[in-house]
Amino acid sequence: MSDALIQLAQALADGSVKVVDLTHTLDPDFPVIILPPEFGQCARFRMEEISAYDHRGPAWKWHNITMSEHTGTHFDAPNHWISGRDVPLNAVDEIPVDMFVGPVVVIDCSAEATEDEDFTMDPDFIRAWEDQHGRIPEDAWVLMRTDWSKRSGAPYLNMREDGAHSPGPSGDGIRFLVEERNIRGFGTETVGTDAGQGMHLSPPYPAHFTLHGAGKYGLQCLSNLDQLPPTGAVLMAAPLKIKNGTGSPLRVLAMVGKDAT
């Protein structure tokens, strides 16, 4: 065993590194994205009892579950978007597993998203964050904190006649992260990696288009981002190994140094 792993195990045991859960509970009431009615729709989580220590199975309890690949806290693979259709290793079962553990930075947009629910994060905002916290390291996850995960029910999707209203990156903002910072992936607290009105940005749905076209990953419906430091945490996000899968619900965890926040 390497010294680094011995030290990590000790730090986890003595509490100087803690594990933070960034995952919402899978629950039939948790909202899923709603597309315009002409498109196919994503299914909510459903759970059906097989037996519960009864005549169907006297000593055991278990459930059948159904959901879409993009239900609840979930991972987006490059093949989720047309721009990533021909990217190598673009399905959840093909992604190299070292991509599932890595450094993470958190850009706090919670004040701006509270002020303006259609807030979009642009390169100037990201550069201002870097002036305070240092340059975003290469191959890191970047999470956009908005405190949106504290909403529940209708205000979470925040649907109006013209669609959803929720924050996300601007087209230039996500291009900056992908092209200038070569991030590994981008995560949000909202139901998608794009802003609710992302179809009106250029290109439409710029986070999906740009990230996946460049072979980068997405995470959405994250929670507890307010428990992470701006830099220095390690993210663990391993999607289910679904053959040719475009995404998957998953448990997202972060390892955080005790005094980091």
**76 or 108: whose CB is closer to Mn ion?**
76
Regarding 70 and contact with Mn ion (CB under 5 A), the answer is: yes
Q: At closest approach, how far in Å is the CB of 148 from Mn ion?
A: 15
Least Å from the CB of residue 106 to Mn ion: 20
In eight-state DSSP terms, residue 95 is S
Q: Do 90 and 78 meet the contact criterion of CB atoms below 8 Å apart?
A: yes
> 125 or 217: whose CB is closer to Mn ion?
217
Distances from the Cα of 106 to the Cα of 63, 133, 226, angstroms: 36, 10, 9
Per CB under 5 A, 194 contacts Mn ion: no
Q: Is the dihedral of CA 47, 52, 55, 59 positive or negative?
A: positive
24 a catalytic residue: no
Q: Which of 24, 80, 208, 212 is catalytic?
A: 80
Piece in contact with Mn ion (CB under 5 A), picked from 110-118, 126-134, 141-149, 241-249: 241-249
Closest residue to Mn ion, judged by C-beta, is 70
Rg (CA), the chain: 19
The C-alpha torsion from 32 through 177 and 99 to 64, rounded to 10°, is 0
Cis amide bond preceding 203, omega within 30 = yes
Q: Which CB atom, from 240 or from 260, has the smaller least distance to Mn ion?
A: 240
Determine contact, residues 145/107, Cβ cutoff 8 Å: yes
**Residue 20 Cα to chain centre, angstroms:** 14
Which one of the spans 24-32, 39-47, 73-81, 201-209 is the region binding Mn ion (CB under 5 A)?
73-81
Q: Which is nearer to Mn ion, 70 or 184 (CB)?
A: 70
| Least Å from the CB of residue 166 to Mn ion | 14
Q: Name the amino acid, one letter, at 95.
A: I
Min dist. Cβ of residue 76 to Mn ion (A): 4
DSSP letter at 81 equals S
Q: Judged by CB, which is closer to Mn ion: 80, or 145?
A: 80
122's CB contacts (< 8 A; 6+ apart) are 169, 170, 172, 173, 176
The one segment of 4-12, 71-79, 135-143, 165-173 that binds Mn ion by CB under 5 A:
71-79
- Count of residues of this chain found to bind Mn ion when the rule CB under 5 A is applied: 3
* Separation CA 76–CA 114 (nearest Å): 26
Q: Minimum CB separation from Mn ion for residue 7, in Å?
A: 36
216 is a site residue for Mn ion (CB under 5 A): no
Choice from 76, 117, 189, 194 touching Mn ion (CB under 5 A): 76
Tokens of 225: 């981002």
What is the set of active-site residues?
Answer: 80
Q: Which residues bind Mn ion (CB under 5 A)?
A: 70, 76, 247
